[in-house]
Structure 1
């Protein structure tokens, strides 16, 4: 009589019954836990503060210490990968709804101000192009138009005030294209993560080899992708759990090498202002490599805080405020810095300030001190647009409050 194999066993030719190990279940992709990650919130807040400080002081070493643009793109990429668990079309539409209204509010103030100061169809000598390019203030697939030099409202503002305050708009243009490409990028990350990560850096090397003409609106968008695409994709890979599937020593071993290569390439680039030194934000390939290495290290060290550590609880209010008003702070901080000039200039004619506080008037910190209340004013006047865009109840100042009866520790 032949022996029958029971479930989980097998019968050999000699008649022995042996147990059989069950097939391992297929591994599922490891993704980030739902809910806010306070470490990522802290990085985003630090990136915003660093942008404001950099635009005030123009310290070229500051982007080396903390490459905030790479950090912001990486965090946005991680958040986008998380959102793409839903249908892609709905996610992109939702992101556009959150991105565009703050831009429209900014344009509703800036564009009429430029027109009042002398900007118009004849400014560039191409009236038809001028009207057509205004559409980029509605959908920034390319850089919205602006005036290089104006009258400064009778000399009260610098002639380049418009050029200075529209500097942040490039980020919105790049964010829009990254967002649209995210469904394809996420598929590529899941199939070939390392090839997808390296591809923008390779393209950046080709683009900055001197063999490619980088002029034109299309090349602006291509430059954005090659410079910060690796950071955006790295944020996606972080959310998809790629870091957990590699040995812990890989990221901290590769990151210093990338930083060294990025810094070396920066030193090889020509310097426009020898007294200031090389500026990494003027060398796209160096910025791409340095940002990638820095973000790789920051995400590797990520502690994934569901709650604040005790020592950082005191910063919860400021960090939460900056995260809930990130687009408003980023768009309006440059205008706040420009407006400090007409506010500080009359103080030189004041006898008390000129005699006793001349050190304050000449300090680079004074414009930043004056700009902070102006940024807060912008939050009060325009920040509620972010709530409306996100379909939340509008709030003038979303600073989190402690529950009643709870005291500060």
Structure 2
């Protein structure tokens, strides 16, 4: 499962009305985005343990959704979809056009109407949109099977969409039976893991698995916004969360945890570890009236990452593939191959190139997020040269 915001991601600079909480959450989102890019480049199994980005991003999204549901639910859901979908449509226009140009088209099995029907999931991704597997690369630019990498992040869009639609029901359940509601997705993940419940089909399989894996994080974010966590004695979360995390770690270690078989391929362990980490991060929630001194210099970068989080998440896999393709071409330079092979094997230069390409995507495609939020399009929204505007939820 590929591992990114979001009206779940911030869509505007931090709001003065709640600077401490917003700035802390914006920092968490920025760290989550950086970790996602690094993980998808390196595949290091310990990175999701160090910082479970997807659980954090779903929790922050749930927090924002609960805050917004003070308004009528239909209007909130429409607003969330309006903010999320235009950047996805732009990705689809570029991706589908490229796939068709390389020969992708209606299935050759005599059911072309299904192909056209499935294309509608690029418009409203309630299920995984179709994409072409096995496409050749574009020589000298991007590697083979690029469509798979381009479509990889869309699982998050599908999961986020369903969380948004279900949030009014989840919020009512949370207010009625908080503990049961938070742990119900964990229990569902355990039922799936033990094989006590058969999943109904491939498309439902992925949706239900995502809900059971990260649903507790989304609901916990809602609980934090509702003030339910503050009502607990201060020792509860620091006492219970490590035990839950250790249970998830124990399960992972006893199921061949390692590169190629990490938390992303272990939904039950992922659900436990993510819930525990998110609970601790929400428990901390420092009240920063201003950025701490060491973080003040990063204000512009954090603002930029938050303002373009959807764009970064949607395009980062493609940027990684292009960067790796270009870096691999340097092996043809005999001097470099003979004298600095360690540099050609290093992931760090590829990471730098990846972020340069991501910056290009921010400039080229980020305006879709502004249009979705009904703002004037900006090329580089790092908050410089203008005052802070209130966040619109």
Q: In the alignment, is residue 42 of structure 1 matched against residue 27 of structure 2?
A: yes
Structure 2 CA distance for aligned equivalents of residues 384 and 75 of structure 1: 23
Q: Of the candidates 282, 286, 294, which is equivalent to residue 277 of structure 2?
A: 294
The structural deviation recorded for 1:151 is 2.0
Of 347-356 and 144-153, deviating more is 347-356
1:229-277 CA distance string (max 9 Å, x none): 1000000000011111110000000000000110111123256xx7x37
1:149-168 paired onto structure 2 within 5 Å: 149-153=134-138, 157-168=142-153
The structural deviation recorded for 1:125 is 6.4
Determine the structure 2 residue equivalent to 1:96: 81
Q: How many residues align?
A: 370
Please say if residues 117 and 152 of structure 1, whose CA atoms lie closer than 8 Å, have aligned partners that are also in contact: no
Q: Of the candidates 357, 366, 371, which is equivalent to residue 388 of structure 1?
A: 371
Of 348-357 and 244-253, deviating more is 348-357
The structural deviation recorded for 1:124 is 6.8
Structure 1 CA distance for aligned equivalents of residues 77 and 145 of structure 2: 35
Q: Of the candidates 227, 236, 239, which is equivalent to residue 250 of structure 1?
A: 236
The structural deviation recorded for 1:403 is 7.3
The structural deviation recorded for 1:123 is 5.8
Aligned Cα RMSD in Å?
2.0
The structural deviation recorded for 1:154 is 5.3
Determine the structure 1 residue equivalent to 2:297: 314
The structural deviation recorded for 1:180 is 0.5
The structural deviation recorded for 1:74 is 0.1
Determine the structure 2 residue equivalent to 1:347: 330
Q: In the alignment, is residue 53 of structure 1 matched against residue 38 of structure 2?
A: yes
SS of 1:153's equivalent in the other structure is coil
Of 392-401 and 355-364, deviating more is 355-364
Greater RCO structure (CA 8 Å; 6+ sep):
2
Largest Rg, 1 or 2: 1
Determine the structure 2 residue equivalent to 1:182: 167
The structural deviation recorded for 1:306 is 3.7
Residues 403, 196 of structure 1: alpha-carbon distance in 2 compared, 3 angstrom cutoff: closer
Structure 2 CA distance for aligned equivalents of residues 81 and 74 of structure 1: 11
Q: Which runs of 5+ in 1 are unaligned?
A: 1-32, 405-409
Q: Of the candidates 231, 234, 250, which is equivalent to residue 217 of structure 2?
A: 231
The structural deviation recorded for 1:352 is 4.1
Structure 1 CA distance for aligned equivalents of residues 358 and 301 of structure 2: 13
Structure 2 CA distance for aligned equivalents of residues 226 and 129 of structure 1: 29
1:4-403 paired onto structure 2 within 5 Å: 34-36=17-19, 37-122=22-107, 126-153=111-138, 157-214=142-199, 215-270=201-256, 276=259, 278-401=261-384
Structure 1 CA distance for aligned equivalents of residues 273 and 119 of structure 2: 35
Determine the structure 2 residue equivalent to 1:22: none
Please say if residues 102 and 386 of structure 1, whose CA atoms lie closer than 8 Å, have aligned partners that are also in contact: yes
Structure 2 CA distance for aligned equivalents of residues 202 and 60 of structure 1: 25
Residues 117, 124 of structure 1: alpha-carbon distance in 2 compared, 3 angstrom cutoff: farther
Structure 1 CA distance for aligned equivalents of residues 357 and 143 of structure 2: 18
1:353-402 CA distance string (max 9 Å, x none): 33444322121222212111100000000001101100111100112226
The structural deviation recorded for 1:197 is 0.5
Please say if residues 230 and 292 of structure 1, whose CA atoms lie closer than 8 Å, have aligned partners that are also in contact: yes
The structural deviation recorded for 1:156 is 5.7
1:157-190 CA distance string (max 9 Å, x none): 4332211221110000000000001111111111
Structure 1 CA distance for aligned equivalents of residues 182 and 171 of structure 2: 11
